[in-house]
Amino acid sequence: MQNYLDELNQAQREAVLAKDGPSLVVAGAGSGKTRVLTYRIAHLLASGVAPWNILALTFTNKAAREMKARIGRVVGDELAASLWMGTFHSIFSRILRTESELLGFPSAFTIYDTTDSKSLIKSIIKELKLDDNVYKPAGVLARISMAKNSLITAATYKASAPAIEADRMSKRPEIFRIYELYAARCKQSGAMDFDDLLLYTNVLFRDHPAVLDKYQQKFKYILVDEYQDTNVSQYLIIKRLGQQHNNICVVGDDAQSIYSFRGAKIENILNFKNDYQNHHLFKLEQNYRSTQIIVNAANSLIKKNEKQIPKEVYSENDEGELIQILDAYTDTEEGYLVVNSIFDQIANKQLRFDDFAILYRTNAQSRIFEEALRKRNMPYKIYGGLSFYQRKEVKDLIAYFRLVVNPNDSEALKRVINYPARGIGATTLGKIEETAARFNLSMWSVVVNPGAFSLDVNKGTLNKLQGFKELIEKFQALQESNDAYDLARLVASDTGVMKELYNGNTLEERTKYENVEELLNGIRDFVAGNYQEGNPARLENFLENVALLTDQDTDKGDDKNKVTLMTIHAAKGLEFPHVYIVGLEEELFPSAMSVHTQSELEEERRLFYVALTRAEKRVTLSYCKSRYKYGTPVTASPSRFIREIDTSFVKNKTMFKGRNQSFEPNDSAGETSFIERGSAFKKPVRAGMNLAASRKLQQMAKPLDSNFTPDAPEQIKSGMQVEHQQFGAGRVIQIEGEGTNKKALVFFNSFGEKKLLLKFARLRILS
């Protein structure tokens, strides 16, 4: 057994050794909280606590796997394997499957993802003859989700005057009816959505005291990671489970609470001292990730928040570089400035593409940076894009698997009953769905015995339904005698899915076939891994594993050495040597929708704090003076958050004091630099230029004004230096076409290549 205590600093060691009673571990960014949580569990095991008496809750499967592996290295894999460790949803799904009969669900209940839930809600909206432009499925689902996370069931919602009034004011008075039908249809289908896993766990513990007592006795020690991200539902489960032994240890950072839109309550961590008045408080304040300047800058920002647990995070790493600020005239220019800066650093400092991350407030901001990266031929990866398991061909085959395990899963049935095409069209499907709704049954019940419900279809269609039923029943009969891989391969083959995709002629169809092959390969790996660990490897086990994957659990092995683009929310928990935080403008960051209250503004500030503390070595901030919104350029102003950073940690420290300034080129760094002259449109200074040459190029830039006079189109020749009102200075590379169709290919210093129709280009000759 390794001496794990020697790997801890004094504060970490104290948090690990205090094993009994309630404990709050406030862990600043980069302070080693995962190590503390891991070694605290290892210490419990080394002290003689049985692994099955320990419950450890995380927010990602990846975190649970990594922690379990590290614990195994300390106390042995056998002890680590017996821990109840995993995400909230995976642990409580396990409990619900054991106790499902008490709630009226099958043990093999399906877990609906967002796509399934939206599809069901869309069907209900159509059934109720509501306007789907008013009752948008995504919006309705979000409303239902928030209700569930606050432990408001459909029945409670229907009886809640404030909820009904809020919906009436939002011109969606029928949400309660949609929620009611949605809950009923899920139960008919033997399905729960993600929020149900927490809601029904609370219902189980509330309505069945003997069950609660059983798990209270079982879990003598409870540990919770990222406690600041827990919602009301999670908070109550933890509180109930810990009431007997009171050995609850929660780890988190109030300064990184950024998920209120998902129902997270920062009050859970702030009020821990009130819930457990005799608790131990430990503060992990040494940041091992970032330079001193980054840590101090982040501290100076977050101190502006009133709602927080006081702490002083510090770093003993190198002092590091001052924070850089890039200001652009337009959002397009911002993209080029950021990408050019990354390119120059890679070229001049021999860095890798995956050393860099571009973080933004909203997904919509990625487009401009993608375009700029493509023009530079720089590889990049966008996190938060389409997951492998959300691809149509993958979801289609998984829907077959779901139907085999749980034939009452109506959403799965709708997806595959006519895929590949077997002559069961939309009209027939509509009749099946309508009949099932009328009799409050699953759609499978109607398919199995259409005559009992007088289903209005012809004999040919009845035969096709019979064929589909027999196909599914054949697979069901093979569940016990086949592992997940053997059965999955048989389903893929005998349904005709593999043949359908294999016979495709296009590259897209070939890619889909390869994706299905990759899915089957993944199932084979799952089976091999489970056999090795002595766990069941049935198809239902694989489906649960896939259903409980989180955003950070997908394999990113093919994304080596690429620039990372992602929202700040998605970046939480990650780290990068060089971070660019872009779009730092008022009404974008902080968001215009999040500045109505002090609480909302403080969460936006915490979000910026999270972004800053992702960086190990260098932070660059950027904003623009004009950004396109709804197709129209809108004047933008710098974010208040830039001003809130102590100026001693910022390189361009005079930029908001109303004085002219010079950002001199740094030849050794080879970076893009700028000179600001009042409100002039700034032009880049190319790396490697001497100071005189750079100033000459900067002098070519003129302030935007109404007196700009373009030269006649016929005067523009190849090789000329020209100026454009929006794109600035550039060189004409080529002229093509004749007369009114004559075009110029121009390389603009800030915007790259543009092809312009000369009669509209309004170019002015510089030389």
Q: Which residues are catalytic?
A: 33-34, 225-226, 256, 614
CB 759 within 8 A of CB 752: no
Give Cα separations from 7 to 63, 588, 623 (angstroms).
20, 42, 42
In this structure, which amino acid lies at residue 33? Answer: K
Within 406-506, residue ranges assigned H as helices are 410-416, 426-438, 443-448, 459-477, 484-494, 497-502
Query: What are the structure tokens assigned to 373, written together?
Result: 């990266």
Alpha-carbon span 329 to 220, nearest angstrom? 59
Which position has the token pair 């709602």? Answer: 307
- Annotate 737-763 with DSSP letters as a single string: S-GGG-EEEEEETTTEEEEEEHHHH-E
* Contact partners, residue 46, CB within 8 Å, separation at least 6: 1, 74, 75
Counts of helices then strands in the chain (DSSP H, E):
32, 24
Give Cα separations from 156 to 161, 202, 256, 552 (angstroms).
10, 14, 32, 34
Which position has the token pair 């099955």? Answer: 52
User: Helix, strand or coil for residue 180?
Assistant: helix
Which position has the token pair 């992990």? Answer: 284
Query: What are the structure tokens assigned to 340, written together?
Result: 């050019």
Alpha-carbon span 16 to 4, nearest angstrom? 10
Give Cα separations from 428 to 229, 414, 447, 456 (angstroms).
45, 11, 11, 8
Alpha-carbon span 407 to 472, nearest angstrom? 8
User: Helix, strand or coil for residue 196?
Assistant: helix
CB 126 within 8 A of CB 132: yes
CB 313 within 8 A of CB 291: no
Which stretches of 199-285 are assigned E, i.e. beta strand? 221-224, 248-252, 280-284
CB 80 within 8 A of CB 70: no
Give Cα separations from 535 to 82, 109, 118, 494, 528 (angstroms).
11, 19, 33, 28, 10
Give Cα separations from 596 to 223, 529, 601 (angstroms).
35, 50, 7
Q: Name the DSSP letter for residue 591.
A: B
CB 711 within 8 A of CB 376: no
Alpha-carbon span 212 to 241, nearest angstrom? 7
> Which stretch of DSSP H or E encloses residue 113?
none
Alpha-carbon span 82 to 80, nearest angstrom? 5
Question: What is the sign, positive or negative, of the torsion defined by CA atoms of 76, 549, 203, 246?
Answer: positive
First CA to last CA distance, the chain: 75
In a 10 Å sphere around its CB, with 0-12 CB exposed, 13-18 middle and 19+ buried, how is residue 691 labelled?
exposed
Angle separating helix axes 392-405 and 539-547, nearest 10 degrees = 130
Which position has the token pair 């800066």? Answer: 341
Residue 443 backbone dihedrals phi, psi, to 5 degrees: -65, -30
User: Helix, strand or coil for residue 378?
Assistant: coil
Alpha-carbon span 247 to 276, nearest angstrom? 10
